Chains A and B, each alone.
Chain A
Amino acid sequence: MRAFVRASLEAELGADVAEAKSGFEALRLLPREAWGLVVVDVNMPDINGLELVSFLRKSDVHRATPVILISTEASATDRRRGLELGADAFLAKPFGTADLAALARRVLGVEP
């Protein structure tokens, strides 16, 4: 999944993408630089995506970073919570490259 997200963003937006394979790894990556967009899965092995959204929104540095939450189960509860916590968009798997790219453009406010 990560490879797919990465490839989509690189190909469609020409983005420079870093991957974290768990919530903790994301925590470690986050302070390194200012990120333009965070794409996060709800279900991760340790810190879940909702917690990560909450963490980002509380942090001084990442408060305004756009966040796209993705999920396999398309659980209505998870979606609602994610958006309430401050995620900018929610995308249910499976989705295509174009879906992700369009959404990323929308939350980033860039023209195709």
Chain B
Amino acid sequence: MSDLRDEFLSEAQEIVESLSRDLLLLDQAHKDGSSSQDLVNEVFRAVHTLKGIAGMFGYARLGEVAHALEDLLDDLRLGRQNLTTELLDVLFEGVEVFQRLLAESPDAEVSEVDIVAFLEQLTSVGASRPPVEDALAAYAIDASVLAVLTEYEEHRLRTNVAKGVGLYRLKVRFSLATIDTQLEDLKARAKSIAEIITYLPSASGGDGDAIDLDVLLASSATPATLEDVLGGEGAVLERLTRGTSPVAPVRATEHHALVPPPPVRTPPRPTSAPPAPRMPSEPPLAKREVTADQLSLRSVAHTVRVDIRKLDHLMNVVGELAIVRTAVMRLTEKLRGRPELRQLAIDLHRINRGFERHLEELQDGILDVRMVPLGQTFDRLARIVRQVAREHDKEVALVVTGAETEIDKLIVEELSDPLMHLIRNAIDHGIEPPKTRELAGKPPGGTLVLNAYQKGNHVVIEIEDDGAGINPQVLIETAIRRGIVSEEAAADMGRDEALQLIFLPGFSTRLRASDLSGRGVGMDVVKTNIGRLGGVIDVQSEVGTGTKLTITLPVTLAIISALLVRVAEREYALPITAVQEAIVFDPKRVRRVEGREVVTLRGETLTICRLDELFRVQSKARGRRYLVVVAVGQKRMGLVVDGLEGQQDIVIKALGKSLSRVRGISGATDLGDQRVALVLDAPGLLDEVLSSPERALHEGRR
């Protein structure tokens, strides 16, 4: 049962996510005034499906909400309700309600989610029904035609007429043998120029091999253009004009014999009357559940959902195999030293190479499965953008690029909170109110750019706004006032350094805590969380122009290629992605600048860190030492190590609690041969050394 429930939850989550995406598109279409009928249908279907499966898995409250939303959407779909910003608000609220309901157990005695309030809200929106003008009556379309239109088709007809789009009838004869291709051809030709409302087959015309059809079309094109595009062999186009009844006049008599003739002009809908109650004659709600058919359809999908822990386990096995491979390699090396076993060594080496290749494939395969596009996260953010902008009466256009960029599922999970915070910040503090912007000569609506791309083994996510920017001077003043930096230190502070102040704990330039960003989570937490994922965050800002935050993350955390270095007879693993180069260390070239040790490398000053001092281990190494240049994001430094031991793929294991808080160490790894190496946390080290040189060095020497 719990498996089924998990299945339901991920299914429902997917539906809610796609619902959210479609609502955003619908919101956009509403703003642009473009056609949104397909989207409304899509949203309706999503909610309909959700209702069905919620009922099956005992999520009664969720089902109830879905049912109420479905009714509202049905009204929207059929034109009984107009699309308004308020209605969109309620629909977005519905997505939130769904997500909160999915987060709690359906059997919980007490629920945190107030669905009654939401249902009331729905009812009030549903009640404010605008009058729908019945322009169709003027057309006096033959009752026999109206009688065979579905409610939806009739709505499309009305909508087109209301917009002043012309109605046409196209008479065609299709051969039964080739009807499919003829139909596709007609659809293709009509696509850009007309909306096909429906096809009316005629029983009178046609013989055994062919059928006459009346195609009902709406189009804004001129009759001549339509004739050009749609006319042709045997096709007759006719414009329907007001006050006439030209459709299927031949059939009318015959038809009226079967159906009592209603008045030719359909009476306009009772527009002022309250909404019609749901028909009691409809099947009871309890019966509206998912049919076996719908279930079986779902299981045909080409995707499989896998618990990420299973993938972790597989990855660990790959890690173990990698260790086996390394062990075999070492053995082979030993065999080579024995002349009588040389042939054996060569064979073993060859076999091991084959093993290595397959292992790499396996590893790549598992990594690939772990990858998910950032798009899912971005969709959630888009919803936040809309909501926050509305709450603040700001106009914000979100531009997303690179949503297809893939990143490890685990990273994505941890990424939503920091990103959400940054987005809120950007709208709350970055983008100015419309009036302020106009005074500054900017367009009243702000733009928020969310950009993702892969760069080597890293994924870069940029969040850029065209808002007020951050004034470094204000940051410095605040930092001094809070005692975070001394006035002397502040005096030397460059602009970039000053901007980094926003990442310090306890730092906030906010005058008042707004309900949006002021939730006790500061940029320091964002930075820590991103650091935990092996990533870094950088800020660039120009007063009056905007702010850009750049997050650089590793593509995966599961397995990494590492450079093994030796410090005081111990081995450490340094993620290769962070290593730029390794050079011979020349102690004579070290200078001291502002309390830091630096060397000049190709004209650039590079801060160095002696790992033996940092970890308080005594290096007895004599002779040649090395400087490993480490870079993450825009930051670089040099690590002084005793030796370089080679490169190896490693699976990082979490450290025990006692070591997990040590700065500069992110985990441990098994190198085989019962050797264990600590894994250096490059972003953490960079922060430690570059942000507070004095402290790092003092602690290191103590």
Task: Name A's B-contacting residues (CB within 8 A).
Answer: 1, 3-4, 23-25, 27-28, 31, 42-43, 46-55, 57-59, 72-79, 81, 84-86, 92-97
Q: At the interface, yes or no: B453 with Cβ under 8 Å from chain A? A: no
Contact partner of A27 (CB less than 8 A), chosen from B78, B211, B283, B289, is B211
**A24-B180, A57-B258 known; A94 and B52 CB under 8 Å?**
yes
Chain A, residue nearest B288 (CB):
A94
- Report yes or no: B148 in contact with A81, Cβ–Cβ below 8 A: yes
**A4-B292, A48-B148 known; A74 and B48 CB under 8 Å?**
no
- Report yes or no: B283 in contact with A47, Cβ–Cβ below 8 A: no
- Report yes or no: B151 in contact with A74, Cβ–Cβ below 8 A: no
**A24-B183, A28-B179, A95-B287 known; A51 and B294 CB under 8 Å?**
no
Q: At the interface, yes or no: B303 with Cβ under 8 Å from chain A? A: no
What CA separation (Å) do A43 and B151 show in the bound complex?
10
Contact partner of B199 (CB less than 8 A), chosen from A23, A53, A72, A79, is A23
What CA separation (Å) do A29 and B567 show in the bound complex?
82
Scan residues 253-309 of chain B and give those whose CB is less than 8 A from a CB of chain A: 254-255, 258-259, 276, 279, 281-283, 287-294, 296
- Report yes or no: B291 in contact with A96, Cβ–Cβ below 8 A: yes
Whole-angstrom distance between the Cβ of B216 and the nearest chain A Cβ = 10
Chain A, residue nearest B153 (CB):
A48
Chain A, residue nearest B283 (CB):
A92
- Report yes or no: B198 in contact with A47, Cβ–Cβ below 8 A: yes
- Report yes or no: A74 in contact with B150, Cβ–Cβ below 8 A: no
What CA separation (Å) do A96 and B287 show in the bound complex?
9
Chain B, residue nearest A71 (CB):
B150
What CA separation (Å) do A27 and B182 show in the bound complex?
14
Residues in A neighbouring B151, C-beta threshold 8 A = 73, 75, 77-78
Chain A, residue nearest B258 (CB):
A57
- Report yes or no: A28 in contact with B176, Cβ–Cβ below 8 A: yes
Q: What is the interface residue range for chain B against chain A? A: 35 or more
Q: At the interface, yes or no: B147 with Cβ under 8 Å from chain A? A: yes
Chain A, residue nearest B55 (CB):
A94
Residues in B neighbouring A92, C-beta threshold 8 A = 282-283, 288
What CA separation (Å) do A97 and B293 show in the bound complex?
10
Interface string of B194-219 (1 = CB under 8 A from A): 00001111011000100100000000
What CA separation (Å) do A37 and B293 show in the bound complex?
21
Best-buried of B148, B153, B279 by chain A (most CB within 10 Å): B148
- Report yes or no: A72 in contact with B48, Cβ–Cβ below 8 A: yes
Task: Name B's A-contacting residues (CB within 8 A).
Answer: 48, 52, 74, 78, 144, 147-154, 174, 176, 179-180, 183, 198-201, 203-204, 208, 211, 251, 254-255, 258-259, 276, 279, 281-283, 287-294, 296
Best-buried of A23, A25, A27 by chain B (most CB within 10 Å): A27
Best-buried of A4, A51, A73 by chain B (most CB within 10 Å): A51
**A4-B292, A4-B293 known; A42 and B150 CB under 8 Å?**
yes
Question: Can you name 18 A-B pairs with beta carbons within 8 Å?
Answer: A24-B179, A24-B183, A47-B199, A47-B200, A48-B150, A58-B254, A73-B151, A75-B152, A76-B279, A78-B151, A81-B150, A85-B147, A85-B259, A93-B288, A94-B52, A94-B294, A95-B283, A95-B287
- Report yes or no: B282 in contact with A46, Cβ–Cβ below 8 A: no
- Report yes or no: A58 in contact with B251, Cβ–Cβ below 8 A: yes
Chain B, residue nearest A62 (CB):
B203
What CA separation (Å) do A81 and B255 show in the bound complex?
14
- Report yes or no: B176 in contact with A27, Cβ–Cβ below 8 A: yes
Residues in A neighbouring B174, C-beta threshold 8 A = 24
What CA separation (Å) do A7 and B517 show in the bound complex?
56
Known: A24-B183, A94-B288; 10 extra A-B contacts, CB below 8 A, are A42-B150, A43-B152, A47-B201, A51-B200, A73-B151, A74-B282, A74-B283, A77-B150, A84-B147, A96-B292
Residues in B neighbouring A84, C-beta threshold 8 A = 147, 259
**A58-B254, A58-B258 known; A95 and B147 CB under 8 Å?**
no
Chain B, residue nearest A31 (CB):
B208
What CA separation (Å) do A21 and B204 show in the bound complex?
24
Whole-angstrom distance between the Cβ of A98 and the nearest chain B Cβ = 11
Whole-angstrom distance between the Cβ of B446 and the nearest chain A Cβ = 41
Contact partner of B291 (CB less than 8 A), chosen from A53, A58, A94, is A94
Residues in A neighbouring B149, C-beta threshold 8 A = 48, 50, 81
**A48-B198, A85-B147 known; A1 and B293 CB under 8 Å?**
yes
Residues in B neighbouring A94, C-beta threshold 8 A = 52, 287-291, 294
What CA separation (Å) do A47 and B179 show in the bound complex?
12
